[in-house]
Amino acid sequence: MEKKSFITNSFEQTKQVAFDLAKTFAGGEVVLLDGDLGSGKTVFAKGVAQALGISQEVTSPTFAIHNSYNGSLVLNHFDFYRLDESEAEMLGLDEFFGDKSGVCLVEWWSNVEGLLPKNCIKVCIEKIDENTRKIDIL
């Protein structure tokens, strides 16, 4: 995938970028989310969920580690801030990566980098100001 860059000026625009990306998903995609606290990773996840027809409220998996939502594809949203590779593997969380029945969004992915497939999509979200975000999709 060639690099695509977007500037968004609202939550809705950020969700739209995610929605458009997710509309290309066929199942098995692993999306690595990079961004500081408050940059819009959960907003991005909400856009993906909307594209997958998920009506449940999408929340940050910071404390749960893994949130799962059912839609046209299962959305598996991970936050590996508190886990390392061996812990994630022991819990079987690596088994979701590449599963064709779903899509994975992974925050703090560098903590489990060795478990990830090679062909991940990387999304970098940079907070420019209160409303403006720069989103790079690699």
Which regions in the chain score pLDDT beneath 70? 1
Using an 8 Å Cβ cutoff, are 114 and 86 in contact?
no
State how far the alpha carbon of 123 is from the alpha carbons of 33, 55, 92, 108, 113, in Å.
Answer: 5, 23, 24, 12, 15
**For the whole model, what pTM was predicted?**
0.96
Domain positions in the chain: 4-137
pLDDT tens digit string along 73-101? Answer: 999 999 999 999 999 999 999 999 999 99
Residue-level pLDDT at 2: 85
List the structure tokens of 70.
Answer: 């059912």
Residue-level pLDDT at 113: 97
The topology (CATH level 3) of 4-137 is Rossmann fold (3.40.50)
Sign of the torsion angle spanned by Cα atoms 124, 62, 131, 73: positive
What CA–CA distance (Å, rounded) separates 57 from 97? 23
Residue-level pLDDT at 79: 96
Using an 8 Å Cβ cutoff, are 21 and 50 in contact?
no
